[in-house]
Amino acid sequence: MLKSLNVNQLYPRWLVGNENDQPIQLIDVRSPQEYANAHVPGAKLISLNTLMARANEVPKQGDVYVICQMGGRSAQAISYLSQQFGFDNLINIDGGTAAWMQGGYPIAEEADA
């Protein structure tokens, strides 16, 4: 079963993590170009097309939030990681980066992957 949160539920967790110098584990599975245009500050870029090769970079402990543009690719990524590698700590962000931006939450616009 796919666990998910919307951006209004994610933001308080993101904010508290940053305030306590313990940022949440957030993976952005969009393309490098999409990521460079706008992403949630602190999100780590692991593009969907590189996920198979980089699955070892996804933490197996603690909640890991997975985000894309709208929520579709992140759901695909979670399904893949769960089936192939047994991950059970992944949470999809419904609405993705588009909803984050619509909500007026902070955005980074540099390629700091």
Q: Which residues are catalytic?
A: 68
Kindly report the length of the chain. Answer: 113
Dihedrals φ, ψ of 45, to 5°?
Answer: -85, 120
Q: How far apart are the C-alpha atoms of 109 and 26, rounded to whole Å?
A: 16
Q: Collapsing DSSP states into helix, strand and coil, what is residue 13? A: helix
Number of C-beta neighbours around residue 12 at 10 A: 9
Q: How far apart are the C-alpha atoms of 39 and 67, rounded to whole Å?
A: 9
